[in-house]
Structure 1
Amino acid sequence: MTDVLVTGGSGYIGSWCTLALLTDGYRVRTTVRDLGCETQVRAMLQHGGTDHLEFVRADLRDDEGWADAAAGCDYVLHVASPTLTQVPRDDDEMVRPAVDGTLRVLRAAHGAGVKRVVMTSAIGAIAYGHEPRDTPFTEQDWTNVDADIAPYQKSKTLAERAAWDFVAGEGRGLELSTVNPTAVLGPVLGPDYSPSLNSIARMLDGSAPALLKFATGYVDVRDVASLHLLAMTEPAAAGERFIATAGHSLWQRDIAAVLRERLGARAAKVPTREMPLVVARGLAKVNPQMGALRMLLGRNLDATSAKAERLLGWKARPIEDTIAETAESLLAL
């Protein structure tokens, strides 16, 4: 039986990757910062069967535990990423843990003789800090960290850069692939889900007074998990980056239209008007939650998954179905 380490198994993408691996017959070891969450994670994954699931405590900010976590594993899915409960005072509060944590995982994987690491990067490492453009972003693009970008995008970019530098240098012999999802939607397994889902939740409960004017790609979390598994096993994936997105980008007004069409009366609180850009930009200067979106306002960050489709045969499900299932799942939760 093949052994796979999944870092951050209690997180949204990590839990779906773990579920996909268990369903496909892999033996999975997953890292969590607190072993107290094991019961909750097992409950989330119960329909995938958890007999072949093991938990170890390891923190991206600490060396302890990583060598033991990687020992005996054939592959590593490095999904974990540092999170902050408030806007950092300094970019390094998010950047340093992301970079150092990635290097801890890679060093442990290399020392354990792991064949390949698949790292969960993000569209944030590709599409930010550029002038407006009419063509979709591809894996050839990198975010400009010298531009005025949010700490999260900077951390994802520098962590991925550090990973590629590591395998080209001291980690030579270790294979690396990265998966760069756009905004991730899909059913929730528990209360820990992505910020993209929070935007859907705010539309549904009426706490979003108006729609923001920006467009980005969206992708189903289950398709993100399937791309991780393809990137882990397919020979053609070694040394490659893969954008995960379903079709072209969507404006928030497009998301709202799908919610109203699919949910009917249950989408009664979904806003129908767009916030004027001048108002949104003004709020972004004083509201931390809006501030994180300031570089998106008025922009269309379209991207393409043509590479993953061509090299790996990956295919994303229709995003309209994902939006509806996301909403149904949030309402049930």
Structure 2
Amino acid sequence: MENSSNQAQVLVTGGSGFIASYCIIALLKAGFKVKASVRSLKRTEEVKAMLRQGGVNSFESLSFVEADLQDAASWHNAVKDCTYVIHTASPTPNTAAKTLDDFVVPARNGVLYVLEAAQKAGVKRVVLTSAFGAVVMGTNKTAPYTEEDWTVLNNTVPPYQQSKSISERAAWEFVRSHGNRMELAVVNPAGVLGPVLSNDYSHSIQPIFQMLSGVMKACPKLSFGYVDVRDVADLHVKAMVSPAANGQRFLAVAGKSMSMVDIANILRRNLGEKAAKVPTKVVPNWFIRVGALFNKQFALVAPLVGIVKSASNDKAKRLLGWQPRSNEEAVLATANSLLDLGLVK
């Protein structure tokens, strides 16, 4: 792996995000110079506070640049003098978003703006953070999903997952048609767990927070693949520097899918009194489906109840030597960080 001997500079987009923060930490520890993009430079101290929580003690090799995914021109300055780009940023849909295009157009344009600027700046390789939702939605396979699978776009696929799938396809098409010598690798993370650095963290962590705080009174029959954020960052860096990663997608998933009940059991088994509010009951599937008629949150999860989508991490292990932490370690690291930071009352 390249290191401080050449001080290659990496642009990490969406620098205040959960995955981005850990990518910055991993890159700084590996000796790279890092330029982090934020929508407003007013957030730099907030980002530094998160990085300190993650173990960064020196910011000598870190700089910040202001850039917005809806402003194509802002990315030309952002990518300047960078050898690599790790593109984790994803636009937050307007709260008034109603149509599919409200989700898809900003996501696709944001990816293309970054790729166009990177290509013009002579960036060697872009690593794009896509999503599990670009791989497994719209189909129900009994065999594990792999990088060869793509979400089948239909009316059962929520707008966010559609936007991730369409924007990833747009990235591959851009590099094929206009990339010249610029390379692309893609990481598709499952539900991202791991130690939180502040109260701004992955939505995948919400169920653990809700269990510990007593908000979740019973577990729905939902199962997902999960991965520790530190391993997601490690996979991004490996995908950035490994010759074998060029032109490849990588599923970031730790192992077998876990149900909400599995997570609750891990918490109770390991945390003692701190897990006193973790639910022991299970919500019947019919209750979720009926509730979906009246409740938007229920409507989002209703199509997923009772379905288990398993996925293989063999490719990342085989090509890049990636070794993720276990599901249990990721769950406990998440829970302990929520407790240690006082986010669970």
Query: Structure 2-normalised TM-score?
Result: 0.94
Which range is displaced more, 269-278 or 39-48? Answer: 39-48
- Please tell me whether residue 143 in structure 1 is matched to residue 156 in structure 2: no
Mapped to 2, the partners of 1:275 and 1:19 lie a distance apart of: 39
Query: Residue 286 of structure 1 aligns to a residue in which SS?
Result: coil
Mark the runs of 5 or more structure 1 residues left unpaired by the alignment.
none
What SS class does the counterpart of residue 301 from structure 1 fall into? coil
Q: 1:85, 1:303 → 2: CA distance?
A: 31
Q: Which runs of 5+ in 2 are unaligned?
A: 1-6
Q: Which amino acid letter does the alignment assign opposite residue 154 of structure 1? A: Q
Deviation of 1:85 (Å): 6.6
Instruction: Determine which of 16, 23, 27 is the counterpart of 2:33.
Output: 27
- 8 Å CA contact 1:177–1:241 kept in 2: the answer is yes
Give the 3-state SS of the residue equivalent to 2:71 in structure 1: coil
Residue matched to 1:293: 301
Q: Which sits farther off after the overlay, 3-12 or 210-219? A: 210-219
> Which residue does 2:269 correspond to in 1?
261
d(CA) in 2 for partners of 1:268, 1:86: 35
In the alignment, what sits opposite 2:174?
Answer: 166
**CA contact 2:130–2:186 (8 Å) conserved in 1:** yes
Match of 2:225 among 178, 196, 217: 217
Question: What amino acid does structure 2 have at the position aligned with 1:106?
Answer: L
SS of equivalent to 1:179: strand
Partner of 1:52: 61
Contact 1:32 1:56 in 2 (8 A): yes
Q: 1:283 Cα deviation (Å)? A: 1.8
Separation of aligned partners in 1, 2:109 and 2:141:
33
- Do residues 329 (structure 1) and 340 (structure 2) align? no
3-state SS in 2 of match to 1:211: strand
SS at match of 1:274: strand
* Structure 1: 4+ residue segments shifted above 4 A: none
Aligned to 2:111: 102
Partner of 2:210: 202
**Amino acid paired to 1:172:** N
CA distance in 1, matches of 2:301, 2:113: 30
Counterpart of 1:295, as a letter, is P
The answer to whether the aligner puts 1:248 opposite 2:224 as a matched pair is no
Query: How far is 1:111 from its partner?
Result: 0.5
Match of 1:14 among 16, 20, 23: 20
Q: 1:43 aligns with which of 41, 46, 49?
A: 49
Relative to structure 1, the CA distance from residue 268 to residue 8 in structure 2 (aligned partners, 3 Å threshold; closer, same or farther) is same
Aligned length: 332
Task: Please say if residues 26 and 52 of structure 1, whose CA atoms lie closer than 8 Å, have aligned partners that are also in contact.
Answer: yes
Corresponding residue number in structure 1 for 2:89: 80
How far is 1:292 from its partner?
2.3
Partner of 1:91: 100
Q: Which residue does 1:178 correspond to in 2?
A: 186
TM-score, structure 1 normalization: 0.97
Give the aligned residue type for 1:69: A
Determine if contact 1:87/1:288 at 8 Å carries over to the other structure.
no
CA contact (8 A) 2:253 2:313 kept: yes
Aligned pairs for 1:296-307 (under 5 A) are 296-307=304-315
| Identical counterparts, % of pairs | 49
| Cα distance in 2 between the residues matched to 1:50 and 1:245 | 31
Please provide the CA RMSD for this pair. 1.2
Could you list the per-position Cα deviations for residues 231-286 of structure 1 after superposition, in whole angstroms to 9, with x for gaps in the alignment? 00000000000001111111111011001011111111111111100111122232
Contact 1:126 1:137 in 2 (8 A): yes
Give 2:262's aligned amino acid. Answer: D
Q: Could you tell me which of 281, 292, 296 is aligned with 1:273?
A: 281
Q: Secondary structure at the match of 1:289?
A: helix
Contact 1:185 1:219 in 2 (8 A): yes
